[in-house]
Amino acid sequence: MTDRSVEHTSFTIERSFKATPEQVFRAFSEPAAKERWFVNVDAGAQITHDFRVGGRESGRFVQDEETTYHDDTVYLDIVENRRIVFAYTMAQNDRRISASLATVDIRREGSGTRLVFTEQVAFLDGLDKLEYRRDGWEQLVGALAKELGEAATAA
């Protein structure tokens, strides 16, 4: 019998960008832009797009020859150029490893933007860890900075 467990935790990542809130929002909302920073389609990753409240997206990413990740996302709230709230599950080799609620808070900061990403996550059956998830999102925020033509600065 498989041991079943759940661990609840949350984390926040904050970054400042020279880019405007409109540019940051477009990096999340426009399919071509999101594909450049969020997934590596050149390496075989797949993603569907339906960026609207109630819209569903999914992605499939291969880590190595034996490990595939799949996420299923639904958008709960979108305020243009200001906020994105979504829920998503993550599976590893078709076994669900987590369920999350995430908020992307896009704040004007002078002539640039302060991005505050907060995730509340339930890690399932000991199959994922906070440090892995946080590191993954740190890498994604770094890729977002590159998409925006700049380097992000830490909080």
What are the structural domains, with CATH classification, of the chain? 6-154 (3.30.530.20)
Entry pTM = 0.91
Distance CA(84)–CA(28), nearest Å, equals: 9
Q: Report the pLDDT averaged over residues 45-58.
A: 94
pLDDT score at 96: 96
Query: Given this model, what pLDDT does residue 152 score?
Result: 46
**Burial zone of 107 (CB within 10 Å; 0-12 exposed, 13-18 middle, 19+ buried):** middle
Q: What is the mean pLDDT of residues 116-138?
A: 95
